[in-house]
Amino acid sequence: MDVINLGVDDGLPPVDWSAVVERLASGASPDPESFNARTTWLTTVNADGSPHVTPVGALWMEGTFWVQTGAGTRKARNLARDPRCSVAVSILDADVVVEGTAIRVTDPAAVARAAAGWAEGGWPAELHESGTGITAPYNAPAQGPPPWHVYRIEPRSAIVARVSEPGGLTRFRF
């Protein structure tokens, strides 16, 4: 197995795969009070057409998801080439997938609103001096230096699987 430590530039050790396998086998779920209790997943399209799925610190604001990333990341390169994407998250009583188009946000007022939204959620983001991206004292490993690009997902459809009684599966087209 090849191991590529994407957090090496941030001084982080590689993750121990055997510990992950052990937790997967046990059916462990995140602690409801932990920082990853509600992980949101962004799927973009690689150049060869295959999916690229990565966890993101998404923000739900103004009726849609907003995400941010460094200019040199695979997701940023994928979105620049093909903005189609999907965002998936589990919430109380349901699993939600929103499919749409990622639109890079460069309007300083909109970027500032997004930064304020992330800051309200506990990540101290703020408008970068460029006005077209955000900055913060830290970000996820491998994002590169700020300013980080901000994207708003223009939804085309959503699928919601209700996991509590009475259950249900519904597609919404916007």
Q: Which domains does the chain have, with CATH numbers?
A: 38-173 (2.30.110.10)
Here the tokens at position 91 are: 């919430």
Helix (H, G, I), strand (E, B) or coil at 69: strand
Structure-token match 């992330």, residue found: 118
Share of the chain above pLDDT 70, in %: 96
Helix (H, G, I), strand (E, B) or coil at 137: coil
Here the tokens at position 96 are: 């939600």
E strand spans, the chain: 40-45, 51-56, 59-61, 64-69, 84-91, 94-105, 126-127, 134-135, 149-162, 168-173
pTM for the predicted model, two decimal places: 0.86
Under the banding of pLDDT at 50, 70 and 90, the label for residue 133 is very high
pLDDT tens figures, 92-115: 788 899 999 999 999 999 999 999
Under the banding of pLDDT at 50, 70 and 90, the label for residue 152 is very high
Beta bridge partners of 127: 134
The CA distance from 99 to 88, in Å, is 9
Helix (H, G, I), strand (E, B) or coil at 136: coil
